[in-house]
Amino acid sequence: MKKLFTFLAILALGVQVASAEDTPLGKAMSGMNKSMRTLKKQVADPAKKAENLELIGKIKASIEDCKKLEPSYTPKVPAAEKPAFLAKYKEQMDSVAQSFATIETALKADKFDDAKAVFEKLSEQKEKGHKDFHADDDK
């Protein structure tokens, strides 16, 4: 019986995670997160400068793709509030894009510690965005 419950729990978790990543926005964010995880490990490494700049290019492209999509929570927002909700979403995505532009500028100027400092603040932006747009509700 215990094995059955374990199996059902694993199955339920798998279905929930898959549903969050199966949305167009979820897929775009997933690709961006992969690049961000790599960048996090090596942003301050001068030997990885060219690779890091390439990763930032991919992330910036993903951000632009994400701005064209709507959070999965959008249909739950009352019609009268939807324009403000979507404007706030795009504003926050622009803020994230600006953070990456700042990191890119720092890397190009060989200011690796500055790039790392800006990158470390991105987790706060991510948490706020996920909270504001209910990104974790689908998981």
Instruction: Provide long-range contacts, Cβ within 8 A and 24+ apart, for 128-137.
Output: 128/92, 129/89, 129/92, 129/93, 129/96, 132/88, 132/89, 132/92, 133/71, 133/73, 133/85, 133/89, 133/92, 134/71, 134/72, 134/73, 134/76, 135/20, 135/29, 135/71, 135/72, 135/73, 137/72, 137/73
**CATH of residue 45:** 1.20.120.10
Domain that holds residue 87: 2-138
Number of structural domains the chain divides into: 1
pTM beyond 0.95: no
What is the full per-residue pLDDT of the chain (139 aa) written as tens digits? Answer: 544 444 444 545 444 444 455 788 888 888 889 999 999 999 999 999 999 999 999 999 999 999 999 998 899 999 999 999 999 999 999 999 999 999 999 999 999 999 999 999 988 888 888 888 876 554 4
